[in-house]
């Protein structure tokens, strides 16, 4: 019996030494120490031993079990350590290799032009204000000298939400709100989205962007308006740009003008961008109508002012020579990567 136990011990330890995986170790454990294992079989035959031999063989069997358990545990630890070292070696990172370049986002061309515009106007002393996109009929029309029966409301193709609520058709509504809350002198610009029921094509969109400007103070004249807008055009397009003022009509300004600049594509010679005219319209402006000042609680006998509205989308497309306004709204990465 003792010889069998010694032989079993030697065989088990040799098998453990040769094993090369956790699965092999588990097979060895079951073979020698399992319920139907070889050590269990030997112990079951102890009934044939004498009373004096049983304690001796039992102690020896326990020593064999302990030796096999210890060898299994030690071998398992060695194998786990080797596996961990192999994994670390396989996943090692060479810190001397050049890293992958992280893709960094950039401002949308609309935001680039808007930031430049705000820098220009703020350098001239304008404050930047905001106004709601869902506006009331009162501020969008009535306070701006556009009464309920005025044909200009029909021409706007307005998106009405209720009889008195609408998506603002112009950032001019911020003028009325600012003049109601602030006494002159006033010098402000208001950028934002506006909405009109236009058909979508290369030059029109039902959603577009404006930046509204307003100056109200004593002694403000048309010369002040021309000086501000000429300085703005030279900053945006370059000092060689020529500026032209054409008479026009807006209910909230009198007199009113449309402002053109020489085409940035052809320099005023005429091309497909300016349709051969050599000029591109960029904004509308004029002296604030006395009725608008009166509606907002400002005395038109004491104060005068000028206002202008600039199409940010038109400015962006002409500045970057973009032929289709829809590209500004499609979020095509191939287009945006160019900026």
Tokens standing for residue 198: 């236009």
What tens digit of pLDDT does each residue of 95-104 get? Answer: 888 888 888 8
Tokens standing for residue 215: 């100056």
Q: How far apart are CA 43 and CA 1, in angstroms?
A: 9
Nearest residue to 68 via CA among 3, 2, 17, 4: 17
Residue whose token pair is 């002409």: 318
Residue whose token pair is 């009373």: 51
Are the C-beta atoms of 195 and 168 separated by less than 8 Å?
A: yes
* pLDDT band for position 20 (cuts 50, 70, 90): confident
What tens digit of pLDDT does each residue of 139-196 get? Answer: 999 899 887 777 656 655 788 888 889 899 889 999 999 999 999 999 999 999 999 8
Q: Is the pLDDT of residue 94 over 60?
A: yes
What tens digit of pLDDT does each residue of 224-280 get? Answer: 999 999 999 999 888 888 999 999 998 899 999 999 988 777 767 777 767 777 888
Q: How far apart are CA 112 and CA 240, in angstroms?
A: 22
How do strand 186-195 and strand 127-128 relate by DSSP bridges?
parallel
Q: Please compute the mean of the pLDDT values over residues 285-312 and round it to a whole number.
A: 94
Contacts of 334 (CB under 8 A, 6+ apart): none
Nearest residue to 261 via CA among 184, 191, 314, 193: 314
Mean pLDDT of the chain: 86
């Amino acid at each position: 019996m003792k010889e069998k136990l010694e032989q079993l011990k030697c065989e088990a330890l040799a098998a453990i030494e040769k094993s090369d995986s956790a699965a092999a170790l588990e097979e060895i454990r079951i073979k020698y120490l399992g319920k139907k294992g070889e050590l269990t079989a030997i112990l079951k035959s102890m009934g044939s031993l004498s009373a004096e031999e049983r304690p001796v063989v039992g102690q020896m069997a326990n020593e064999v079990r302990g030796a096999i358990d210890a060898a299994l545990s030690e071998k398992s630890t060695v194998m786990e350590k080797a596996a961990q070292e192999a994994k670390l070696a396989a996943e090692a990172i060479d810190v001397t290799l050049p890293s992958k370049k992280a893709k960094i986002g950039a401002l949308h061309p609309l935001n680039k032009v808007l930031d430049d515009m705000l820098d220009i106007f703020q350098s001239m002393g304008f404050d930047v204000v905001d106004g709601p996109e869902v506006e009331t009929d009162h501020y969008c029309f009535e306070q701006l000298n556009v009464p309920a029966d005025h044909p200009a409301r029909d021409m706007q193709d307005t998106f009405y939400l209720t009889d008195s609520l609408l998506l603002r058709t112009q950032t001019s509504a911020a003028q009325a709100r600012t003049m109601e809350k602030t006494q002159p002198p006033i010098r402000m610009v208001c950028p934002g989205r506006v909405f009109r029921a236009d058909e979508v094509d290369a030059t029109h969109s039902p959603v577009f962007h404006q930046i509204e400007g307003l100056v109200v103070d004593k002694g403000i004249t048309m010369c002040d308006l021309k000086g501000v807008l000429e300085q703005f055009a030279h900053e945006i397009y370059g000092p060689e740009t020529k500026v032209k003022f054409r008479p026009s009509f807006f209910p909230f300004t009198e007199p009113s003008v449309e402002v053109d600049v020489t085409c940035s594509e052809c320099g005023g010679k005429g091309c497909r961008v300016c349709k051969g005219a050599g000029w591109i319209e960029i904004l509308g402006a004029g002296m604030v109508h006395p009725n608008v000042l009166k509606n907002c609680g400002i005395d038109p006998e004491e104060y005068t002012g000028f206002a202008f509205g600039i199409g940010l989308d038109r400015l962006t497309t002409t500045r970057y020579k973009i032929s289709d306004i829809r590209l500004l709204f499609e979020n095509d990465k191939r287009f945006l990567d160019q900026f």
